[in-house]
Amino acid sequence: MPSTPHDLEKRRRRSLGWVVFLSAAALVFDGYDLVVYGTVVPVLLSDPDQLGALTPAQAGRLGSYALVGVLVGALVAGAVGDRIGRRKVMLVNLAWFSIGMAITATTHSVATFGLFRFLTGIGVGALVATVGAMVAEFAPAGQRNRYNAIVYSGVPAGGVLAALTAITFGDTLGWRGLFWVGALPIVLLLPLALRFLPESPKWLVARGRFAEAEAVSARTGIPVPAAEPVVEDKVGFPALVSRRYAFPTALLGLMSFAGLLLTYGLNTWLPQIMGEQGFGKNSSLTFLLVLNLAAIFGGLLASYVADRVGAKRVVASTFVLAALSLAVLPLSMPAGFLFLAVALAGVGTIGTQVLIYGLVSNYYPTTARAAGVAWCAGFGRLGGIVGPIIGGVLVGAGVGGSTAFQLFAGISLLGALVTLLVPRPAHASSRVAAPSTTTDRTTVAA
């Protein structure tokens, strides 16, 4: 018996819900991994019995090892994701990431801890690079920034989870127990992903696999899209360095570099800096909680605006918001204003990075989308590597938080400037909206 339009729509909504839920849940553990290290840095610095004697500068470098792994994982995922599909990359790396977190929890030296932070980062990078392409290809036109923000809000949500877990159970679980929590995706998410995560029909069409796209569509209710106009005959990374995309690719990479430098720098060192300013352990961790909670809600609100006015304008504005809030953080102010400044900094740093992923995932055609997001996540992670190192050097030198916050504010302004220089997508002028759909403002106005 043929499916009715109502049945197809119900199936489509259910399939989209699974894609969004599984993608967001995977990134929750990415965010958890990001912030959990910041929550245990004070313990590792104060207790040499854990991994050995550790200086602030060494802790900053140790925090960067996972980010080197993220860079490698993102670039590898970008190289293969546009060729083998989104689903396979996600399944493999859910398992990879979980195993890496579990082994990290068992390490007893700085060297082995750093090694497995690097290996865990490979799985994180592959997931971050893949979910953006996946969501962009399943989300309805005109709502892609919103769905992207929902999914990438998993990163600050994971930060909230890490901060709450550390505040509530840190003394009970210890730092090893906090890392064991990060290994849960292999038992909580992987079985669900194997059952409910479909391959992207849009990717299948782009690869000429029309029969498979029809089969996925019949099973999930996701419509088979029309083939995109061919504006670039290269696939994956070669398309990014073509004459058409080379300049915007460089700018988008610099935007992500700035966004992730701010994100990782603050998440790694905010508790330590606030602790040195006289706040207790739980109060310092509460700043992390506020930073990431504000990023979730602020990022979602900003994505709603981005679907209407274009992501580029909103990203530039949130970079400026970050600069203003970071510049006032060193000032003496009542606690309420201080928490407000931290919240606005969360929107302008972590929230901005959420929006950048949305802009990038809709900037490139399907045949280069995973590579584009991978470039954004991978090159951006170089900024993520630099951020904790800068914080570690400044804290170790006794300069204090004021200089760090002022430096981060300057980087935010540079991020806003780079964003304004990004040109209109090359394929936007060739895209024709279907008569029954709304024009994709994300693509046209990115």
**CATH code for 9-223+236-444?**
1.20.1250.20
d(CA 340, CA 120): 33
Q: Which of the two residues, 278 and 361, has the higher pLDDT score?
A: 361
For 46, the token pair is 């104060």
DSSP 4: P
- Average pLDDT rounded to a whole number, residues 261-285: 71
Q: What is the pLDDT of residues 56-73, one digit of tens each?
A: 777 777 877 887 888 888
pLDDT for the residue numbered 227: 60
pTM confidence score: 0.74
- Amino acid in position 441: R
pLDDT for the residue numbered 319: 93
Going by pLDDT thresholds of 50, 70 and 90, the confidence category of residue 190 is: very high
d(CA 67, CA 404): 20
pLDDT, mean over the chain: 80
What DSSP assignment string belongs to 213-275? HHHHHHHH-PPPPPPPP-S----SHHHHTSTTTHHHHHHHHHHHHHHHHHHHHHHHHHHHHHH
What residue segments make up the domains of the chain, in order of their start? 9-223+236-444
Answer whether 329's CB lies under 8 Å from 342's CB.
Answer: yes
For 177, the token pair is 């127990």
b/e for 30-65, b at 16 or more Cβ within 10 A?
bbbbbbbbbbbbbbbbeeeebbeebebbbbbbbbbb
